[in-house]
Amino acid sequence: MMSVKAPTGSANDSFVRRAFIVFLMATLAYVCWRLADLAVLTFGAVLFSIGLNAGAAAIARRTGASHALALTIVVLIGLAAVGLATMFFGSMIAGQIDNLIEQVPQGFRIAVDRIEANTFGRYALEQARSFDMAGSTGWIASTLALIARSTLETAAYAFLVFFLAIYLAAQPDRYRRMCLRLLPPRRQSALSGVFDATGEILRRWLIGQIVVMAIIGVLSGFGLWLLGIESAIALGLVGGFLCFIPYVGAVIAAVPATLVALTQGPTYALWVLAMYAAVHFVEGNFITPFVQAEATSLPPVLSLLSIVAFGVLIGPVSVLIAAPLTLFLMVAVELLYVEETLGQAPAETSMEII
């Protein structure tokens, strides 16, 4: 029996087609990697738009206003709040921030001097200096320059995210339909379910996180004021904002406060550390469980790993949205893979997936 060979042209066409698909996939992966910052900004805008929509929905329910009018009211209230806070407290906070810029390097130098006074500490610093890691002046200068550059970039990104979020919140269904049309009709219902679930979970997480940030900012600022630490209000604001980053933000917030306290004396620094430990003990055991009881929270291991992973892969800015982005990915994996692909029964509540 004679075998029939496939035409050579057909085999070549198949090879070329597969090679072209591989090339397109590699190109798409490279483009996504290069546009990682844009993806982070887009997700940040989506997260912010969820918060705007939550506020607009609350106003619409109570007043019967249209979505557009309710969203306009939310934006105007937010801008008015920021403007009034700047008018009444802007100069004081700006002065305290200037003091922080001067005092934090001083506190760092004091800490280095005290470490050098110890034999083991001096040895560790010498080893670090051998790798050009801990020269006092150079390290502080480079760190402050990095912080200043990151602050400016973050401020520019924040303005962009703000305007993107307004457009997304104004017409959420339009952009939702645009995303759904990228998939075959049989897959659109699954992606629509992911949008619904993640929107609800991220809304709850965002509201809970804002409440926790406000409480931590007030408690830490009040505690610093009671201890007589300079620039207490600015440090409280910093502590509140940094609590948006779970676990790691609390540690970062304690560093500048401790360095400022060190300029007033080592006893002050110890009291500040004790105060931050007490505040975050209360936050972790009472405030967050109560606030997030009806919301959602990431397990500590996943939260910390996501911060490290996104920080390494994308950059420092992605650390700000590592937690909500991980929530989104977990919901997508649960609905699209665990339930639809593996065929496992859905969790009793949407919260059980995390």
Render pLDDT for 70-129 as a digit per residue (tens, 0 to 9): 999 999 998 898 888 778 777 777 787 778 777 877 887 887 777 777 777 666 666 665
Structural domains counted in the chain:
1
Compute the distance between CA of residue 349 and CA of residue 201 in angstroms, rounded to an integer: 11
pLDDT at residue 353, rounded to an integer: 46
Asked if residue 20 belongs to a domain, the reply is no
**Range with the poorest average pLDDT among 53-67, 265-279, 316-330:** 316-330
Asked if residue 47 belongs to a domain, the reply is yes
- The residue to which tokens 């665990």 are assigned: 338
Alpha carbon separation from 336 to 87, 197, 314, 340 (Å, rounded): 49, 12, 25, 5
Asked if residue 15 belongs to a domain, the reply is no
List the domain range (segments joined by +) for residue 324.
38-353
Compute the distance between CA of residue 67 and CA of residue 78 in angstroms, rounded to an integer: 16
Residue 4 has pLDDT above 70, yes or no: no
pLDDT at residue 152, rounded to an integer: 64
| 124-167 tens-digit pLDDT | 666 665 554 444 445 555 555 555 556 666 677 788 888 899 99
pLDDT at residue 26, rounded to an integer: 80
Asked if residue 132 belongs to a domain, the reply is yes
**Range with the poorest average pLDDT among 43-52, 55-64, 147-156, 334-343:** 147-156
**Range with the poorest average pLDDT among 53-67, 162-176, 323-337:** 323-337
**Range with the poorest average pLDDT among 133-137, 175-179, 314-318:** 133-137
- Give me the amino acid identity at 194: V
**Range with the poorest average pLDDT among 3-12, 54-63, 172-181:** 3-12
Structure tokens that stand for 230 in this block: 């300079």
Compute the distance between CA of residue 49 and CA of residue 157 in angstroms, rounded to an integer: 15
Q: For a pLDDT cut of 90, what percent of the chain falls above it?
A: 12
- How does the average pLDDT of the chain come out, rounded? 79
Asked if residue 292 belongs to a domain, the reply is yes
In our burial notation (b when 16+ CB lie closer than 10 A, e otherwise), range 2-39 reads eeeeeeeeeeeeeeeeeeeeeeeeeeeeeeeeeeeeee
Asked if residue 144 belongs to a domain, the reply is yes
Secondary structure element (H or E) that encloses residue 259, with its range: helix 248-262
With H, G, I as helix, E, B as strand and everything else as coil, classify residue 354. Answer: coil
pLDDT at residue 21, rounded to an integer: 76
Asked if residue 33 belongs to a domain, the reply is no
pLDDT at residue 18, rounded to an integer: 76
**For helices 8-34 and 36-63, angle between their N-to-C axes, nearest 10 degrees:** 70
| 239-292 tens-digit pLDDT | 888 888 877 788 888 888 888 888 888 899 899 999 999 988 888 777 777 776
| 191-250 tens-digit pLDDT | 888 888 888 888 888 888 888 888 899 999 999 999 998 888 888 888 888 888 877 788
Q: For a pLDDT cut of 70, what percent of the chain falls above it?
A: 81
Asked if residue 283 belongs to a domain, the reply is yes
Structure tokens that stand for 26 in this block: 């590699």
